[in-house]
Structure 1
Amino acid sequence: MKEVIVDKIHEIEREHQVKILFAVESGSRAWGFPSRDSDYDVRFVYIHRPEWYLSIDEKRDVIEVPINEQLDINGWDIRKALKLFRKSNPPLLEWLGSDIRYYEAYGFKEDMLALSDRVFSPRASVHHYLHMATGNFRGYLQGEQVKIKKIFYLLRPILACKWVEKYNANPPILFQDLVGDLVTEPELKAAIEDLLRRKIAGEELDLEHRVEVIHEFIEKEIEHLTEFARSAHSELEDPTQMLDELFRKYLKIVWNFG
């Protein structure tokens, strides 16, 4: 599949007259809990030619490829990515941390990773993951029967919040790393590991009675993390000048501009 994805990346470059700086996997495969039939969620950052940016009009800064049963591919223009990086955008930080890498060029991803500690906002991270958890809890875990897939879409953001609370740092992308560090109660850990095994085996669509030890953990942590989110704060220097310089650096490297 990697060869198919790399071919698609080069096709996007030709069709849109851009250069892709990196492309990675996101979603359940990157998080460590894919099912047998999980599709590939490919995310990338790209850069246009310099003249594209020299315009009085704002232009579309996203490339989206029609989704099929196997592939979901879309990406952000470098300027959009750097604006979101300035805000400590958690999905973008997950892209940078993904262990499933399809394509990298020019060193841009390494430069962003080197700067990630200087833009990371505990407040932005906690609010993002807590919003995700509470939304999924209201939407999918109110009944007596739940889908295995939805449980993980609650557990991962909750554990991501707990990582920020414990370490004041960006959480790792792998679900197993979060569980190994943060889940210490044996019964809860065993229940999570059993569900993880079943999900990877392809049972994510099955409805079943909710697992009370997990449900109680989720309820308790949402209440606790809601309180924690109110006190989470960030004191960061404005990174705009630094990111402007990074933007100009890659216009020059990729297109020999300036």
Structure 2
Amino acid sequence: MKEIIVEKLKQIETEHEVKILFAVESGSRAWGFPSKDSDYDVRFVYVHRKDWYLSIDQKRDVIEYPINDLLDFSGWDLKKALNLFAKSNPAFLEWLRSPIVYHDDLTISEELRKIGNEILSKKACIYHYLHMARGNYRDYLQGEEVKIKKYFYILRPILACIWIQKYNEIPPILFDELLEMEGLEQEFLEEVGKLLIRKKQGEELDLEPRKKVLNDFIENNIQFFEEYVKGITESNKVNTENLNELFRTTIEHSWEK
């Protein structure tokens, strides 16, 4: 599949006259708990030639394709990506740390990874993950029987919130690594561990009785972070001039190769 993805990325470069700077896997495969039929969520950042940017025209800064044969391709123009990076966009911060990399020329991704924690907005990231957890919890885990696999899609953002609060840094992408942080109760870890083993063995987790230990953990943390995030004050302004210089340098160097 990686060969197919890499070939598609080359086609995208030709079709849109762009250079792809890096391309990674996003979603459940990158998080470490894919289902047997999970899509390949390929996300990438690309750059145009300089003249494309020197224009008064409004131009589309996203490349997207319909899902086809479990392949989902979507990418952002470099300028859009850097603007979102400056705002601590959690999706983009996750792209930069994905453990599954399809292409990376390292000219920009390494630099952004180095400064990611320096520009981190705890408030923006916690709001993002809290919104994700709260919505999925409301939609999938309210009955006596619940879609058991949805626990992963709610626990992961909550664990990310805890990581940010505890360590003041961008949380790991892999679910397993989030579970290694200090302070998680043994009963909770054992319950999650059982589900994780079943998921990794390929078992399709569908409707089952709700897990009280997990629901309690979720409800308590949603309630906590709804109040905690309101009290976060941030005054650090991102040095956009550094990102502007990185933007200009990347445009120049990418087309020399």
TM-score exceeds 0.5:
yes
Q: Map residues 60-99 of structure 1 onto 2, 5 A cutoff.
A: 60-99=60-99
> For 1:229 and 1:97, how far apart are their aligned partners in 2?
24
After TM superposition, the structure 1 stretch with the greater mean CA deviation from structure 2, 153-162 or 188-197, is: 188-197
Give the SS at the match of 1:172.
coil
Q: 1:183 to 1:175 in 2, by over 3 A?
A: farther
Per-residue deviation at 1:229?
0.8
| Higher fraction of helix | 1
Q: Map residues 101-120 of structure 1 onto 2, 5 A cutoff.
A: 101-105=101-105, 107-120=107-120
> For 1:233 and 1:11, how far apart are their aligned partners in 2?
45
* Residue-by-residue CA offset, 1:96-125 (whole Å, 9 max, x unaligned): 011111101252211211221221111111
TM-score by length of 2: 0.95
- Residue in structure 2 matched with residue 163 of structure 1 by the alignment: 163
CA contact (8 A) 2:136 2:153 kept: yes
> For 1:156 and 1:43, how far apart are their aligned partners in 2?
20
Per-residue deviation at 1:50?
1.1
Q: 1:98 to 1:152 in 2, by over 3 A?
A: same
Give the SS at the match of 2:193.
helix
- Residue in structure 2 matched with residue 122 of structure 1 by the alignment: 122
1:179 aligns with 2:179: yes
> For 1:96 and 1:146, how far apart are their aligned partners in 2?
33
After TM superposition, the structure 1 stretch with the greater mean CA deviation from structure 2, 34-43 or 6-15, is: 34-43
Per-residue deviation at 1:46?
0.1
Give the SS at the match of 2:177.
helix
CA contact (8 A) 1:88 1:124 kept: yes
Equivalent residue letter for 2:10: H
- Residue in structure 1 matched with residue 190 of structure 2 by the alignment: 190
Equivalent residue letter for 2:137: F
* Residue-by-residue CA offset, 1:79-103 (whole Å, 9 max, x unaligned): 0000000101001000001111110
- Residue in structure 1 matched with residue 230 of structure 2 by the alignment: 230
Report the count of equivalent residues: 256
Give the SS at the match of 2:42.
strand
Equivalent residue letter for 1:202: G
Equivalent residue letter for 1:15: E
- Residue in structure 1 matched with residue 147 of structure 2 by the alignment: 147
> For 1:149 and 1:182, how far apart are their aligned partners in 2?
24
Equivalent residue letter for 1:72: D
* Residue-by-residue CA offset, 1:160-207 (whole Å, 9 max, x unaligned): 000011111111111111112146322211110111122223334511
Per-residue deviation at 1:141?
1.2
* Residue-by-residue CA offset, 1:144-166 (whole Å, 9 max, x unaligned): 11112211110000000000111
CA contact (8 A) 1:36 1:200 kept: no
> For 1:15 and 1:70, how far apart are their aligned partners in 2?
21
- Residue in structure 2 matched with residue 203 of structure 1 by the alignment: 203
> For 1:182 and 1:12, how far apart are their aligned partners in 2?
43
Give the SS at the match of 2:233.
coil
> For 2:38 and 2:28, how far apart are their aligned partners in 1?
8
CA contact (8 A) 1:46 1:75 kept: yes
After TM superposition, the structure 1 stretch with the greater mean CA deviation from structure 2, 188-197 or 174-183, is: 174-183
TM-score by length of 1: 0.95
After TM superposition, the structure 1 stretch with the greater mean CA deviation from structure 2, 72-81 or 107-116, is: 107-116
Give the SS at the match of 2:79.
helix
> For 1:154 and 1:205, how far apart are their aligned partners in 2?
15
Give the SS at the match of 1:55.
coil
Percent identity of paired positions between Structure 1 and Structure 2: 56
> For 1:252 and 1:5, how far apart are their aligned partners in 2?
26
Q: 1:155 to 1:183 in 2, by over 3 A?
A: farther
- Residue in structure 1 matched with residue 29 of structure 2 by the alignment: 29
CA contact (8 A) 2:107 2:250 kept: no
CA contact (8 A) 1:45 1:77 kept: yes
Q: CA RMSD in A?
A: 1.4
